[in-house]
Structure formats: structure tokens, C-alpha cells
Amino acid sequence: MTCSSNRGSRAATPSLRLRLSAGFIVLGAITCSSPGQPSWKTVKECHGADECRTRCEQDDADACAKLADLLFSGEDVPRDSTEAGRLWEKACEMGSDVGCDHLASHLLGDPEEVEPTIAALRQKAAELRAKRCEAHDLKACFGRVFDLQFGWDASTKAGKDPEAAFQLSERALPGAKKLCEGGDAEACYIAGRLTKGFADQPSAQSLKGALSYYESACKLDGERCVSFAMLLAETGDAVRSREVLSQRCDADEDGSACYPRETDPTLTKRWIEKRRAACAKGLRLACDDLGGHSSRKLLEGARSSDEARADHGAWTRLLDDECSRGEGLSCSDLAIHSSFDATGELTIGPALLQRYTALERACELGVPFTCTEASMQPLVRDAVAIYPSEFHSCVRRKDGRVGCWGVDSDGRLGVAEGSKAPLALSTLDGEPADGVTFQGSSCVLASDGRAYCWGVNPTKSSRAGSPAKVLVAEGATRISGGTAGLCVEGNDRRATCYGSFLAARSELKDIDRAYVLYDRFAVRRGNALEVQGRSEGDRPIRLPVAPAQGDWQVGLSGMCSLRKDGSVACAEVDLSHGDPKPQQVDLLVVPELRDAVEVSVLGKRACARTSDDHIRCWELPNKPPAEIAGVYDATSLRKACAATKRGFVFCWGGRYGVPWGVAEPMRAGPSNPETE
């Protein structure tokens, strides 16, 4: 049997204008065909930029795709996402399913123009894999099993046929086993994966059978040891899993196999040391890994050491240099992670200016999802209030309408097909009073006490419909939301809380305030806070707190009291665990802050709007606040966002440093549901 390199298999497709995203999907498959009696074979991919470039110049389509991968990630070669896009396109035209897949994964632009192209590329990739599979290319058949199991287009599930996937895996498994016996590490991994199957909960027998093949793959190719360790952990053998990972970490020069794990600080420390050394030697992926890790840890406050600050500073300088050389994705990354200055301390003012400068540069270089925030689209130019959450946000406009943007799933944006008009609150039987966003829902409290939601109906955990609204409460005086769901309060010291993560609908009595905390909720009664357990019947955590003398704001990592004299007192306390033991919590006054009128708590960061309409933020519990540059006329503060008198919305960081609402708002406003 002979293996071919796909020469002369070019397809006539027009040149594409590339807009590259930061995602990276590996679906490698290499052509290998046979005349006469077929037998299963695999061909090893090229290694290193020099070998891949040589083979690409000889019209090896898959080598071009691999070279593009290296250029995109900056592995073994300077990062060049533009050239990566050109090579993916070339590889796809020559018949590489990998080239088509990766081109589809990184193609961005106007969705109305790009989405059909992406669908066509994914279909072409699936057809190429099917053709290669007919020639008994094991890798291609392995990829084809995934196409059939989950669909070649996951968003539409096009091509999904689980029964055909099972039949194909049964046909390919004997060939994979035979190649594995011959010393092919990739075939051993494929044999193990096919043996394990694709059930959500594999049987003990299938896991045991897969283990032997994963172990063989590990012995033949050290890079496969991580998969072996993960499967060991899945079978419950945590001790051996750590041993395998530790051995692989020792042997892995760049540290990629060490992986940071909160449960294994020793392995995490070795990963940091090895990735730091690899970054210093020029391995671009190591710099990204280390920089992203330090950024998250600095934001969480869990690793605020001088070394973490140095790692973050070195990474942002690298991104800044690449951004200045025209790497749009580096500009985007710089904007997202510029929450700290060179020392690692929170300096929201300079960081905000750097972020908007980087966003503008990324937009100029063709990274489309950055253009919205950089240019301040009209939807957010006339905002009077902002309702942000992890994956989508809404604003209330001066004309009394609500517009939302972000991840559009479950109808949370209320978008009617072909419409971009924001929802008119006049259709909600009352003037706007307040709003919240969370998980799959957006909710508004009208001045007449009626609360409406669209997206997932939190009272039933079902889709409310788009653009239809659902009345969830009447006689409400306050609503609050979080990742888990919604609490609606009345003027009778009662509240009703709903949410898909909560155990059930909960009726609360004799309360002063209700809060949603991720997958549960808390209530304030007098000078104590009670955090409910994750399951019905769990003992609540009771936190005695010094007299607040004002309103409270509560987050998972702490709480703050806005006092009547304009001072703010905070406590850092972890509310994410179900410890039933009572604990005394003392509030510490935030220094240099005496004129607050509004306060917000998000993670271990708190912000206040002061009487002069400036925004000042600090790390809990009581570090000196820093002012946000450019926000001098704020009218509304929510989490890490503010609306200003000018009608702008400023967001300066959110979960893991990702800015809130960095997604095309002009494509997202809920339309007017007058026909419901």
C-alpha cells in the first residue's frame, strides 16, 4: 500500500477575506489510500516549521495545514495569523479536510456573509474525510466517526447519524488495534477512544478496555500520557493518574504536560516554572498560557506574588509589541487582559485607556467583535442604566427601551428574526424601574410592580420564547439576579426566588433583602446574612455582621455596606462553600472613600459611584480605591460597568478579566413584542 499527499486535488474556490478568531480546534486527518485489497494505514504528520514548509512547497496539503497551525499558535515559528489564514485556505483548496476545518474555525466577519461560507467549509471537510475514510485512512475514519456522532456542523447538527457512527467505529476498531500492535501510537489512542465509546457515562468495562490502549499509546509517544492520566482519573485511580502526570511533567521540557491544578500545587508550580522558561526561549504558546494564568490569578487575588505580576507584565508587553506589528488578535488579547499595571496592582484608570486603545487597533486590523466597544455603537450611546452578566448584557435607553447584546441563546436577547429594534418598555405596562440579566434570561421590573422576563422563564426553567415576554411577578418592589436565577421581593418582607440551579422555587419570609449567589441565594435579616445550602434542607450559613447602617451589596467573595454617611465598609468572605459553622465577619472601612452613593461587589473587587459621579474601585476588603479614567459623569453602576450622563457604557473587566458586553450590540436588541 502507498500513501498519497493529495497532490493535484485542488478545488476551485474564490479567495476569502480572513478574519481570524482566538479559538483553536485540532481535528487532524492525513490521507492514505491503497490500490487493490485495502488495509488500514496512517501517515505521520510533519514536525517543525521547516519540515512542514518544505512539504507544503511540494503541494502536501496537510503539511500546509499543519504549518498554518504553527503560524497561528506561534509554536516553533513567529506568530503570523494572516499567513496562517492564507495557508489554511490553500490547504483546503488542495483537499485537506484539516485546512477546511481550521479555516472555518477561524473565519470571522459580518455573520450574514461569513456563516454560509463556514457551513460550506465544514461540509467540505466532512466530505473529504469521508473520501479518505473510504480509502481506509484510520485518522480520517476516526474524524468521520465524530462527524457522524455529533454532526459536522455542531450548531445545526448537520450530518449527525449516531448509528452510522457506531457502525463505522466497529469497522475501524480492528484496524486500529492491528496498527497499535505494530507500534503506531496514534492508532493505539484511536483504538482506546473507540473502545471507550461516546456515551456520557461509559461503562466500567469499556473504560477498562480503553485503558490498555491508552497506556500503549503513552509508552510509544510521551505526548499521549496526558490522555492516559486523564482516563486513569476517570476510572477512579487518582494516585496512578498523578504519578503518570508527574513523570510526564518531568520529561516534558516546555511543561505543557504538567497542567496547573488547584488540587496539586506542586504540579502547578512545576508547570509555571517550565512554561516560564519555555516562554523565555521564545515558545509563544507558553507565553500565552503563563500570561493567561497569571491574569486570572491576579484577578482572583489567589496568586498576587511578585512573580505573578512579572509574568503578567511580560505577557502584556509581548502582546503590545505584537499588536504594534499588526497582529490583531494580540491587540484583542491585550484589551481583554489589561486589568493590571506593570506591578500587577489594580489600576483601572490606565488599564481602561490601554484597553480602548488596543480595541481600536484590533478593530482596524479586522477583528470584528472588537469594533463595537471601540466605536461605541448607537445602541449604548443613549443608555441610562446597564444590566451586565457573564455572557450577555442589556442597557436601558433614554427613550425607555431596552437593548441587549452578547451570546444569543435561549432567547435571552429577545431578538426577532430580521429585527434589531430594542424592546419598548411601554409594552411592559409601566415605565422602566430596574432590570437584571443572568444565565439564559433578561428581566425588567416596571414601575407598576410587574416583572417580565424573556429568554429562559426562570419560574419554570423553560424558554419564554423570543421575542415574547413572560410576566413572572406582580406587586414587586425589587428584583435581583445572578448566575443561578432571580429573586423577586415584595413590600411585605417576602421574596420568591427561582432558578435552574436552585433546588426548587423558594418562598422567603421576614427578610430585609434577597441576593442570588451563583447556584443558591442569600437573605439579610437585621444584621445577619444567611446563605442557603445547595440542596433543599441544607443548613444555611449564618454570618453575623456588624451593623450596616445602610444598604448592602453581596458577592461570592465578599460584601460591602454602603452607609448613610457615604462611607463604605467591606468584608472578604468566601460564600461559595457550604460550611454550616457560624463565623463572625467584621466590616472594615474602605479608606479615602467618604462620599459614595452606590456600591457594587463582583468577586474580590468592589466599586463605588461617588457624589461627584466618578467611579472608584478597590480590592476587598479595604484597599485604597483607584479611579476609572474617563468616567467622570456616571449615573448608574452595576458590577463592573457604568452608564454615564453622555449615554456611554463603560465596562472595565468582568469574570476572569473578560470585559462585559464585548459583542456586537447592534445585532442584538430585543424587538417590540406587540403581537404576543
pLDDT digits (tens, 9 = 90+) for 91-127: 999 999 999 999 888 876 555 567 788 889 999 999 9
Is a pLDDT exceeding 60 seen at residue 666? no
The CA dihedral of 99, 286, 657, 407, to the nearest 10 degrees, is 10
pLDDT score of 446:
87
Whether 97 contacts 140, CB under 8 Å: yes
3-class SS of residue 457: strand
Is a pLDDT exceeding 70 seen at residue 418? no
pLDDT, average across residues 455-464: 68
Which region among 316-325, 465-474, 599-608, 638-647 has the lowest average model confidence (pLDDT)?
Answer: 465-474
3-class SS of residue 478: strand
Residue 628 banded pLDDT, cuts 50, 70, 90:
confident
3-class SS of residue 619: strand
Residue written as grid cell 442557603: 532
Instruction: Supply the DSSP string of 379-419, one letter for each residue.
Output: GGTTEEEEEE-SSEEEEEETTSEEEEEE---TTTT-PPTT-
Which is more confidently placed, 342 or 619?
Answer: 619
pLDDT score of 126:
92
Is a pLDDT exceeding 50 seen at residue 447? yes
Which is more confidently placed, 535 or 213?
Answer: 213
pLDDT, average across residues 385-396: 79
Which region among 33-37, 471-475, 539-543 has the lowest average model confidence (pLDDT)?
Answer: 33-37
Is a pLDDT exceeding 50 seen at residue 24? no
pLDDT score of 471:
84
pLDDT score of 545:
82
Q: Which of 590, 611, 598, 669 is nearest to 639 (CA)?
A: 598
Percent of the chain with pLDDT over 70: 74
pLDDT, average across residues 350-378: 61
pLDDT, average across residues 615-629: 85
pLDDT score of 31:
34
Q: Which one of 190-204, 364-378, 492-506, 571-585 scores highest in mean pLDDT?
A: 190-204
355 φ/ψ angles, rounded to the nearest 5 degrees: -65, -45
Which is more confidently placed, 16 or 320?
Answer: 320
Residue 40 banded pLDDT, cuts 50, 70, 90:
confident
Residue 360 banded pLDDT, cuts 50, 70, 90:
confident
Whether 180 contacts 218, CB under 8 Å: no
pLDDT, average across residues 39-50: 84
Decide which of 2.130.10.30, 3.30.360.10, 2.40.10.480, 3.30.470.30 is the CATH code for 376-667: 2.130.10.30
434 beta partners: 445
pTM of the predicted model over 0.85:
no
Residue 638 banded pLDDT, cuts 50, 70, 90:
confident
Which is more confidently placed, 288 or 31?
Answer: 288
CA atoms lying within 13 Å on the CB side of residue 511: 23
561 beta partners: 552, 569
pLDDT score of 292:
83
Read off the DSSP letter of residue 663.
S
Please state, in angstroms and rounded to a whole number, the distance separating the CA atoms of residues 520 and 502. Answer: 6
pLDDT score of 108:
63
Which is more confidently placed, 24 or 61?
Answer: 61
Which region among 75-89, 143-157, 312-326, 448-462 has the lowest average model confidence (pLDDT)?
Answer: 448-462
- Indicate the angle between helix axes 61-73 and 49-57, nearest 10 degrees: 140
Is a pLDDT exceeding 70 seen at residue 589? yes
Is a pLDDT exceeding 80 seen at residue 417? no
Is a pLDDT exceeding 60 seen at residue 391? yes
pLDDT score of 67:
94
Q: Tell me, which fold does domain 1-160 have in CATH?
A: 1.25.40
What confidence tens digit (pLDDT) does each residue in 540-554 have? 777 888 777 778 888
pLDDT score of 7:
31
Please state, in angstroms and rounded to a whole number, the distance separating the CA atoms of residues 97 and 143. Answer: 10
Whether 452 contacts 428, CB under 8 Å: yes
What confidence tens digit (pLDDT) does each residue in 242-276 have? 899 888 888 888 887 787 665 677 888 888 889 88
Cis bond before residue 621 (omega within 30° of 0): yes
pLDDT, average across residues 615-637: 84
Residue 157 banded pLDDT, cuts 50, 70, 90:
confident
Question: Residues of 647-675 as b/e, b for ≥16 C-beta within 10 angstroms?
Answer: bbbbbbbbbebebbbbbbbebbbbbbbee
pLDDT score of 419:
47
pLDDT score of 611:
95
Mean pLDDT, all residues of the chain: 76
pLDDT, average across residues 364-390: 63
Residue written as grid cell 507500534: 183
Whether 497 contacts 468, CB under 8 Å: no
Percent of the chain with pLDDT over 90: 24
pLDDT, average across residues 121-146: 92
- Are β-strands 485-490 and 495-499 bridged in parallel, bridged antiparallel, or unpaired? antiparallel
Residue written as grid cell 492525513: 30
**DSSP H stretches of helix in 95-237:** 97-105, 111-134, 138-150, 162-181, 185-196, 204-220, 225-234
pLDDT score of 73:
84
Whether 85 contacts 106, CB under 8 Å: yes
The domain segmentation of the chain, as residue ranges, is 1-160, 265-372, 376-667
pLDDT score of 596:
96
Instruction: Supply the DSSP string of 495-561, one letter for each residue.
Output: EEEEESSSSS-EEE-S-SEEEEETTEEEEEETTEEEE--SSTTPPPEEEEB---SEEEEEETTEEEE
Please state, in angstroms and rounded to a whole number, the distance separating the CA atoms of residues 603 and 124. Answer: 45
CA 482 remoteness from chain centre = 17
pLDDT score of 195:
94
Burial of 467 (0-12, 13-18, 19+ CB in 10 A): buried
What confidence tens digit (pLDDT) does each residue in 328-340 have? 888 888 877 765 4
